[in-house]
Structure 1
Amino acid sequence: MVPVLGWPPDEDRVEAIFDRLSRIMPDPKTELNFTSPYTLVVAVALSAQATDVSVNKATDRLFAVADTPAKMLALGEEGLVPYIASIGLYRNKAKNVIALSRILLERHGGEVPLNRADLQALPGVGRKTASVVLNELGVEAAIAVDTHVFRVSHRLGLANAATPDKVEAQLFRVVPEAWLPKAHHWLILHGRYTCTARKPKCSACVISDLCPSRAGLAALGEAG
């Protein structure tokens, strides 16, 4: 268990963390495949409790036949299920995708509303999904706190709160404004490939000397 760290963190250390992450990931993006705001919303909604790789495998086939709300509605729930059956919770996700597609057609002219209130009103689109969409499309410098962001934020001492919403609030307080637009991507990708849950790659980490948890993490991964 990572020890509870003092908060807020030192401003210079936070600045250095994001400066270094920006150097190795100058243009970070979501790893979900999408071609429009609509396909992004669907892909993110499908990614809950699933890997981006598994979602991409499903949506590569799905979006070839249904990449608009009208086409998705024509496909219908039973027609959608075979495309996403390999993804966890696919039955409920199919219901949500069809329902949100109907709402987009009936209330928004078939377009995805790019504001938080209307996005979060869509079935299957919670705060995290809306944050990912708004951030990815450059509408809002949002930080979606998933398991990777939650873990990395705590390990780096950027946050110490117990819930994703509170961690999000803490991150907005400590991350310098210049880094906010891409902070979500840097944290999630760092957690996905370097600061992993079970075997963190501390010896390959460009910010290891800035990490107050490294001594404890070394026992989990590779020392160094």
Structure 2
Amino acid sequence: MDLGIIGQAAGLFAVTNIDDILILALFFARGAGHPGSTRRIVLGQYLGFTAILAVAVAAAFGATFLPESAVPYLGLLPLALGLKAARQAWKSHRNGAGDQEDTGAGAEPGGGPGALEVAAVTFANGGDNIGVYVPVFATAGIGGMTAYAVVFLTLVAVWCFAGRFFATRPVVARALARWGHVLLPLVLIGIGLLILVEGGAFGL
């Protein structure tokens, strides 16, 4: 595999996915202490990013499964999950449960975020990256496209590790344990609104 392509792929991934580390840290913080939550978060991240790659590769070959005009409306996914998480956090606060209960978006019965919810946020947050990846893939050829995909999927694991690393640092963990139930809904709602507004959805 050409080192030049590896470097380009790594740089492109980092630039287009830097905000995912914060989101992953919040998800890992909400899943702390819940068996299986790490596995679900990693699985969800891979599902979401694989979907992004699949759409970008298909578009590079001329197939359009996701019209450009539909991309801004992906903001509805994190917006809905953020509102759901905010409602759960408010209910827990009113019930006096505070941080005792998991209030993350799409929490599993056993606690922590669910894989499909993480995948939905990952896909929606990275939907605008598809427009960046398509011309790169289209000019890279089959070999180059394969190299990009391998590097991207490898770096997803690095991103998951980084998110979990930050979420488990004592100072960060204490802050997220105290405020994570507020930060996660705010971040998801903010991402959703940003995608909708920047994409001009609903004439915004």
Question: Which structure carries more helix by proportion?
Answer: 2
Report which of the two structures shows the higher radius of gyration computed on alpha carbons: 1
TM-score (norm 2): 0.29
Q: TM-score scaled by structure 1?
A: 0.27
**Greater relative contact order: 1 or 2 (C-alpha under 8 angstroms, separation 6 or more)?**
2
